[in-house]
């Protein structure tokens, strides 16, 4: 670096508007490179001007020094760095929106209910943490190996995304879902029944796929307010379970199937799906449609008796 073609730190500060003390800090942190004059003073080549201006702009957008250094060294493109910062801002805003809605939910509660609501919401730090609890609950209910895509679809159907800008009611409902999923006694009961079913199920992916088709066929009936009753949707539901067990759909099979799926009628499970609908606004969730089909099966088995 030839000294007569370089800039002193004061010159660089004047050209960029960055204070001298800040330039020294950037040099110490490795953001800006500097040479030394014969007298030991920092000297900068002309490219430092554009480099420092870029640093200033990125700092103005809130990027941290590690991200800025990554851009300057080429480890990250400018687009990648800005996208990462935007995602971090989105996460921070979502956390703030969740906190605001939680505080409002406590404010809105009646004096008699306020302590209980505070306890409910205090157990749920934020949306992503709450969703992790729900994902863990549903993963632990699956006692057989599933293909990745089947597991992904199952979890998407069972666990809603936390609303980006939730209302107080949505936060309370999501926290209620977490309370259900945190009920260890319920999980033990569901897993015990699941283990009993797993001994009979031979083809879980086929069962899940057929169950999804039955849900789709029953959904319009649930939305229309139809009473649970035997019909094509129930036949498809039973056929899925029969195929998964590699058995035939017979009256005896239907009688045996009813207690195998009865745990889904547990009031705690039904409450989960009711709260699911309050979070998502869906008038008929996968769980409520499943309950409709099981109620239809119960009526059908009763008619067969």
Residue 252: count of CB within 10 angstroms of its CB: 11
pLDDT of 143: 81
pLDDT of 102: 95
What is each CA distance from 111 to 104, 106, 116, 133, in whole angstroms? 14, 9, 10, 29
Q: Domains in the chain, please, with CATH? A: 3-76 (1.10.1660.10), 95-304 (no CATH)
Contact 286, 157 (CB under 8 A): yes
pLDDT of 305: 66
Q: How far apart are CA 254 and CA 248, in angstroms?
A: 10
- What pTM, to 2 d.p., does this model score? 0.76
Contact 12, 52 (CB under 8 A): yes
DSSP string across the chain? --GGGSEEHHHHHHHH---HHHHHHHHHTTSS--EE-TTS-EEE-THHHHHHHHHHHHHHTT--HHHHHHHHHTSS-HHHHHHHHHHHHHHHHHHHHHHHHHHHHHHHS-HHHHHHHHHHHHT---HHHHHHHHHHHHHHH--S---HHHHHHHHHHHSPPPPSS--HHHHHHHHHHHHHHT-HHHHHHHHHHHHHHHTT-S-HHHHHHHHHHHHHHHHHHHHTTPPP--SHHHHHHHHHHHHHHT----HHHHHHHHHHHGGGG-HHHHHHHHHHHHHH--SS-HHHHHHHHHHHHHHHHHHH-
Q: What angle do CA 102, 106, 108 make, to 5 degrees?
A: 110
Report, as ranges of residue numbers, the positions in the chain whose pLDDT lies below 50.
1
Q: How far apart are CA 132 and CA 129, in angstroms?
A: 5
End-to-end CA distance of the chain: 96
Half-sphere exposure of 263 (CA within 13 A, CB side): 15
């Amino acid at each position: 670096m030839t000294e007569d073609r370089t800039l002193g730190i004061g010159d660089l500060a004047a050209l960029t508007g960055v204070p001298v003390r800040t330039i020294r800090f950037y040099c110490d942190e490795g953001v800006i490179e500097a040479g030394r004059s014969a007298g030991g003073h920092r000297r900068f080549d002309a490219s430092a001007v554009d480099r420092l201006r870029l640093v200033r702009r990125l700092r103005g957008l809130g990027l941290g020094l590690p991200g800025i250094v990554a851009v300057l060294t080429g480890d990250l493109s400018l687009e990648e760095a800005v996208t990462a910062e935007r995602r971090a801002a989105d996460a921070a805003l979502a956390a703030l929106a969740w906190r605001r809605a939680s505080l409002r939910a406590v404010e809105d509660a009646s004096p008699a209910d306020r302590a209980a609501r505070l306890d409910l919401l205090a157990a749920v730090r934020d949306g992503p943490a709450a969703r992790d609890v729900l994902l863990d609950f549903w993963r632990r209910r699956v006692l057989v190996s599933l293909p990745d895509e089947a597991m992904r679809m199952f979890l998407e159907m069972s666990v809603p995304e936390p609303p980006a800008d939730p209302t107080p009611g949505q936060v309370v409902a999501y926290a209620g879902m977490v309370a259900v999923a945190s009920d260890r006694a319920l999980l033990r009961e569901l897993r015990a029944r699941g283990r009993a079913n797993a001994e009979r199920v031979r083809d879980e992916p086929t069962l899940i796929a057929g169950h999804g088709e039955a849900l789709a066929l029953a959904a319009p009936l649930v939305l229309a307010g139809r009473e649970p009753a035997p019909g094509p949707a129930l036949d498809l539901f039973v056929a899925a379970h029969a195929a998964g067990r590699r058995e035939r759909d017979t009256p005896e099979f239907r009688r045996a199937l009813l207690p195998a799926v009865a745990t889904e009628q547990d009031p705690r499970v039904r409450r989960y799906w009711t709260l699911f609908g309050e979070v998502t606004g869906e008038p008929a969730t996968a769980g409520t449609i499943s309950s409709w089909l099981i109620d239809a099966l119960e009526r059908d088995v009763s008619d067969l008796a």
